[in-house]
Structure 1
């Protein structure tokens, strides 16, 4: 029995949309597009759950753009996205979908862009507005964005807006909408605050759930390398040299990491550039344009900076630093293998990050294949292949005969031409040697053997009776202390913002936060690198350094904090001994009338002796 394939023409879309889609090379709608487009064309609210790369941008854009009234010069469709990159991507997609419809204007509103550019786009009568929640709310309050006649609103990646702290802005914007409007909400997960929005602002939504990242990204070859025997920098260079890719993204955990890796790649001849939150929006857009037009091959980025990127050239993703949560891994590898394209992803895993890898494999529902660093033979073969291709191409050059005559004039007839060619090979090879010495033998230990040995000696962390876990986050957490508290005027949102911004950490990785008068505690995933802890140690909250330190399972901080904790314990024990002594002697209650000043002075003298010792 032959299975009938559904085309875009079968979904009821108008001709100007179908022609644009056909020009873009799309013929068969993805599962989420097949499910959502008919409901949105029929005026139903839609609640879509799907991972990145599933084609949800077209799922809501095509049916809603088809219903735009070109004659009405006011906002009719509003799309809210968590990041400026995703907002730009959605706006560009809408422009492509409406290129055959004259009179459709699209305005993009996001932080970092000049207001006059956005105001000009709104005054031209933009029917479609795409932007981030903060800037959209800002325009509403300024009176430059009027949503009183809005027909459609889309919340794209709603769970990410929740994690980035935009949920209050989203609810404020939703409250400004007219009573009669159509809502489409898309989210990879459905936490309770997002569910609350659906109940409050959506009318009998049609739920569409697309299962399994594996099915939506079937053409991504995933592999991992356990960091051993080589430094990560050296391994990265070897993988990039051997891998056959057009464009690549390398993900690091911090902003500083993007600069360090970019400097390394440029030093070794790769065309690379960094992309992080410290860059201006104009510079970020210029960098992405260079990647698209081929003047740049490798982008080194953080998770936040790269969210929403969709560049066709990207065929390789390297996770130089493993993400702290599995969902971020899905978003990372989703930068390649999009819309039916194939791609590959490599993950670097340090020994202490084994638990993070297990979380990723559990989400992906399959093990990630372990690979070795390319050896000298693989490097030799790849370099010789590239060198041969260059020479073969040069043999077709129209000026080759002139250089042949030059060669005859430079060398005497008795000199061997093969020797001359070999000497030229030596000169032309440059730093990438075509003949490499064999590497010293290195002990190879497979993943199963390593796991067995770990099991034999026992993993104390795995046998812990309890593990701290973050809000809605199944991964184990560690407790850290920061030296800011209520007395400094901080709130939980200040701490979340500082950690998310300084470390480029997704806020979903931040667990429980407890505020005290002089300090606070925060839970972060296990296996956090020392370099990241150093970054948080210098980071500031309300202009005061956090000075983050790790807290042990018993609640004692390491180093100086642990020493002070023991000293405070001695003081408390002395206080209790004095109390018992006074009460046992039959005096009046120590707590009520005993001379506390003398006791405090005695403790102060003891503290001074401790400091001197």
Structure 2
């Protein structure tokens, strides 16, 4: 069978040159079937899974049929989310870069409408947007549907699931009768069928059959984990095999917030994405995630479709989704463009029935895994460090510090003692705060805070909002030793949740400590964990030197050991948080 080429699809030279510049050698199956069918002018129903290249399948023919001399909307693309609208528009820019005079605009809620109105009046020919905002523009008469030749419903099933049925029907009813309509969907259900029957004109089905509904390059597994133990298990999995980028899906906004705060407190670089986040912060979060400045993105299903980042190595279902379709769309964020990916799910109790439904729907078995112990985590990290040192020695042994080793040997230290000490120092240096401090290490025991008495422990255990108490109970659920790596001996500080009041009441004058003022706060989008991590990273102070951290709207107060405070101020004055410089000095009001 001869392989289909892009030149066989009937596309104009300007589009073929853009495709070639982007490095695509041959069309995907859905592109090879859909593009010629769309160019023939009929309605189609495109059924294809996430990550199959369906965006280019409808964008390429849409760009081909645009009259570049006409300054009015000719193509309308409906998308379920703001993120997907932006990504489709960006794809149109890339594929149409050689089309002189092409103008595209994304329109969606959460951003000023004036800018979108100017773009529409400026002669945009291709408009991509969410149903609600598109309908708003049409009612304002800033979007005239009279000249629309092509309407594309991207992720039609998702838009219907999100409650956009009325908006979609009103929009389609306002379009010219002569228009061409493309229905693209990952799944076909009765709601999609009803919409197609009402607004389609004998559409031709175009689909790519698969034996399974998930990408074969994604390995899937699950762990049985109680809700209160999820953060600890997640941390261990991240430590054993750290992904370059990972998405953690939760079912609720509250779960997203709690998971993100716990990860930040443990030293990971994480951020959140859900419906209550403003569009400006969402855009900034996605940009930082794409650039690798955030390694973990914690999100609700608002990001399950439309999150187009090729380098996501792992997806965690922190909460198992209710719908098998959502599971498929979630794990489709990894293993893209032929890359390998991992999908890890946490289940407990009745979740097993949902897992069985997912296996039946995807026609794949999801492997059960045992939760790694803390010893396994430590052993894995130590083995990895050993291999890295071994490779470096084999490549080019460094002679820069040889004279220091010779001096230690002359003073009577054995080579094994020197190497062992250096390994231990390197492990601590490379790990997160306190991560490599073993329980039997003198450093671990010497840094333990005073153990609370029985009454304090009971009172702390009764408080639902006490993160420390919850985490101790979590570890006892699946570890015999309650004092694991992040257990009662954790040298890292607990973050205060005190409400704003007089400064003197917020950070007490604890003997031997100082209070520092930082000119960043909640309005800048920073989290306490980011501030703690920055302080330890920049100043290299000892574990446990940071005390209370109180985050306010425009500033933050941090309690620091008195002897470490000047070093922290000096080291952090040139640092940045939330992408900008900030003031740091002793707090004058304590």
Normalising by structure 1, report the TM-score: 0.67
| Equivalent-residue separation in structure 2 for 1:223 and 1:161 (angstroms) | 29
Distance 1:442 1:137, change over 3 A: closer
> What is the CA distance between 1:386 and its match in structure 2?
4.1
Corresponding position of 1:536: none
How many residues align structurally?
441
Tell me the residue number matched to 2:103: 105
TM-score normalised by L of structure 2: 0.69
Partner of 1:249: 247
Q: Distance in 2 between matches of 1:280 and 1:67?
A: 36
Match of 2:371 in 1: 373
| Structure 1: distance between partners of 2:477 and 2:170 | 63
Aligned to 1:308: 306
Counterpart Cα distance in 2 of 1:395 and 1:293: 32
Matched residue, 1:433: 436
Q: What is the correspondence of 1:89-128 to structure 2 with a 5 Å cutoff?
A: 89-128=87-126
Shift of 1:204: 1.9
Q: Shift in Å at residue 359 of structure 1? A: 0.9
TM superposition shift of 1:440:
11
* Structure 1 counterpart of 2:22: 24
CA drift of 1:66 comes to 1.6
How far apart, CA to CA, are the structure 2 residues paired with 1:436 and 1:27? 54
Contact map agreement 1:80 1:156 (CA 8 A) in 2: yes
Contact 1:227/1:348 (8 A) holds in 2: yes
Counterpart-to-counterpart distance in 2, 1:376 and 1:135: 50
For the residue of structure 2 that corresponds to 1:245, the secondary structure is coil
Superposed CA deviations along residues 161-205 of structure 1, whole A, max 9, x for unmatched, are: 112111111111112212221110112333444333323322221
Matched, 1:138 2:129: no
Residue of structure 1 aligned with 2:34, choices 17, 33, 36: 36
Cα drift, residue 375 of structure 1: 3.6
SS of equivalent to 1:231: helix
Residue aligning to 1:7: 5
2: distance between equivalents of 1:78 and 1:418? 70
Query: Any idea what the Cα deviations from partners look like across 1:361-388, whole Å, max 9, x if unmatched?
Result: 1101122111112344542343124434
Q: Cα offset for 1:299?
A: 0.6
Aligned to 2:509: none
Closer, same or farther: CA 254–440 of 1 in aligned 2, 3 Å: closer
Q: Distance in 2 between matches of 1:274 and 1:283?
A: 10
| C-alpha spacing 1:40/1:422, structure 2 compared with 1 (3 Å) | same
C-alpha contact (below 8 Å) 1:54/1:216 kept by paired residues: no
Moved more, 379-388 or 297-306: 379-388
Paired with 2:249 and 2:408, the residues of 1 have a C-alpha distance of 50
The verdict on how the C-alpha distance between 1:441 and 1:151 changes in structure 2, with shifts beyond 3 A counting, is closer
CA distance in 2, matches of 1:397, 1:138: 63
Deviation of 1:14 (Å): 1.7
Change (3 A) 1:168 1:6: same
Cα-to-partner distance string for 1:103-128 (whole Å, 9 max, x where unaligned) = 11110000011112212321321111
Deviations 1:202-253 (A, max 9, x none): 2221112333472662211111112279922221111112225321101111
User: C-alpha deviations, 1:266-312, integer Å up to 9, x for none?
Assistant: 23332211111111111111111111111111111111244310101
Structure 2 residue corresponding to 1:58, chosen from 39, 45, 56: 56
- State which structure, 1 or 2, has the greater radius of gyration over its C-alpha atoms: 1
Equivalent of residue 162 in structure 1, options 160, 163, 167: 160
Structure 2 regions of 5+ residues with no counterpart? 429-433, 441-474, 480-590
Displacement of 1:402 in angstroms is 5.7
1:227–1:351 Cα contact (<8 Å) kept: no
User: 1:447-462 residue pairs with structure 2 within 5 A?
Assistant: none
Tell me if structure 1 keeps the 8 A contact 2:11–2:61: yes
Query: Residue 413 of structure 1 aligns with which residue?
Result: 411
TM-superposed deviation, 1:101: 1.8
SS in 2 for 1:433: coil
Deviation at 1:145, TM superposition (A): 0.9
Q: CA deviation at 1:404?
A: 4.5
The 5-angstrom pairing of residues 492-503 of structure 1 reads none
Mapping for residues 75-474 of structure 1, pairs under 5 Å: 75-212=73-210, 214=212, 217-227=215-225, 231-243=229-241, 245-376=243-374, 378-388=376-386, 403-405=401-403, 413-430=411-428, 431-433=434-436
